[in-house]
């Protein structure tokens, strides 16, 4: 009896303590975003009219597929290089390992604008890369590297590789070395150990890393804006352009809704898969 009374009061205390943060998130995030999405279904032209006009526009569907493509390529490249780098970092001796971790954290703490700007200096028409290529005689006139899909992907990989490395180092460190040693002492080749032991154990971590990178690059603004410009319009830059330049609020809200639904679907689906593959993963 006494314990139940205490527990009920405890529950109330818990609610009271979390109330300010809860109300802030609901009032300033859930409701505003919900209103944006709900608004797209209240169009006088019909309930799905904004979506029909979105998908009927060749330009806008191209932007959607371009964004998905850039995000997918960024994720794959970051996974491959991030995994290899994380493997080396996880096996590095103590001091070197902390140094390598710090070297990955530093770019992560440097803002996205600064990091995109760096590539602007490198890839520009009179940029360092072009100057070098011209000096070496590789090319006779400067190459147009900026405002291409390649430039956006390089900038995005630059943005997200450190994130991938850091999240995979933790995963790889948690795989007991005994397991790998057992595999090789039982006669498995290094390649077999990698494919049959190490990789399956790392898959949940790879999925988490991939989700972070995919959603991050799918919704990034500064990098595609600076390195891709209008020629490589992506959903985020299109959203900004519709809202702030064209004042097309319905169009902007539709893009916002599409971005939100795709992002949340991917996060939920992938975390479900990660949990099914490994019940230990959180």
Residues 209-268 that bind another protein (CB under 8 A): 215, 218-222, 225-226, 236, 239-240, 243-244, 249, 252-253, 256, 259-260, 263-264, 267
* Cβ 89 vs Cβ 101: under 8 Å: yes
Q: Is 40 in the site for another protein (CB under 8 A)?
A: no
In the complex with another protein, which residue's Cβ is closer, 58 or 122?
Answer: 122
CA distance 131 to 151: 17
CA distance 76 to 31: 35
Output the six-digit token pair for 127.
């940029």
* Cβ 149 vs Cβ 123: under 8 Å: no
CB of 60 to another protein, least distance (A): 16
In the complex with another protein, which residue's Cβ is closer, 58 or 65?
Answer: 65
CB environment 62-78: b (16+ within 10 A), e (fewer): ebbebbeebbebbbebb
Which residues in 160-189 contact another protein (CB under 8 A)?
A: 161-162, 165-166, 169-170, 177, 180-181, 183-184
CA distance 206 to 83: 8
The one among 54, 119, 160, 214 contacting another protein by CB under 8 A: 119
x-or-dash pattern for another protein, window 41-80, by CB under 8 A?
----------------------------------------
Closest to 70 measured CA to CA, from 232, 264, 209, 237: 232
In the complex with another protein, which residue's Cβ is closer, 204 or 216?
Answer: 216
Output the six-digit token pair for 13.
């205390």
CB of 103 to another protein, least distance (A): 6
The one among 113, 199, 269, 277 contacting another protein by CB under 8 A: 113
Output the six-digit token pair for 81.
């290089």
CB-CB neighbours of 100 under 10 Å: 18
Which residues in 76-95 contact another protein (CB under 8 A)?
A: 81, 84-85, 87-89, 91
Which residues in 142-161 contact another protein (CB under 8 A)?
A: 158, 161
């Amino acid at each position: 009896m006494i314990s139940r009374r205490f527990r009920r009061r405890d529950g109330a205390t818990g609610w009271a303590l979390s109330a300010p943060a809860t109300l802030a998130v609901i009032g300033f995030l859930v409701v505003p975003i919900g209103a944006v999405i709900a608004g797209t279904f209240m169009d006088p032209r019909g309930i799905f009219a904004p979506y029909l006009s979105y998908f009927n526009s060749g330009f806008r569907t191209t932007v959607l597929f371009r964004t998905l493509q850039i995000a997918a390529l960024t994720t794959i490249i970051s996974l491959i290089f991030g995994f290899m780098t994380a493997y080396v970092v996880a096996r590095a001796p103590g001091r070197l390992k902390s140094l390598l971790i710090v070297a990955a954290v530093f770019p992560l703490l440097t803002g996205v604008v600064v990091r995109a700007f760096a590539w602007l200096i490198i890839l520009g028409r009179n940029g360092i890369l072009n100057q070098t290529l011209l000096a070496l005689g590789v090319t006779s006139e400067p190459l147009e590297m900026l405002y291409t899909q390649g430039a956006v992907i390089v900038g995005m990989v630059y943005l997200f590789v450190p994130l991938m490395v850091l999240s995979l180092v933790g995963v790889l460190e948690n795989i007991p070395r005994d397991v790998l040693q057992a595999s090789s002492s039982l006669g498995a080749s290094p390649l077999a150990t990698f494919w049959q032991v190490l990789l399956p154990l790392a898959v949940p971590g790879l999925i988490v890393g991939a989700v972070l990178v995919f959603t991050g690059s799918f919704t990034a603004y500064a990098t595609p804006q600076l390195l891709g410009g209008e020629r490589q319009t992506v959903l985020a830059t299109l959203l900004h352009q519709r809202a702030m330049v064209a004042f097309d609020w319905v169009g902007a809200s539709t893009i916002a809704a599409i971005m939100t639904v795709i992002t949340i679907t991917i996060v939920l689906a992938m975390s479900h898969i990660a949990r099914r593959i490994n019940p230990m993963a959180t």
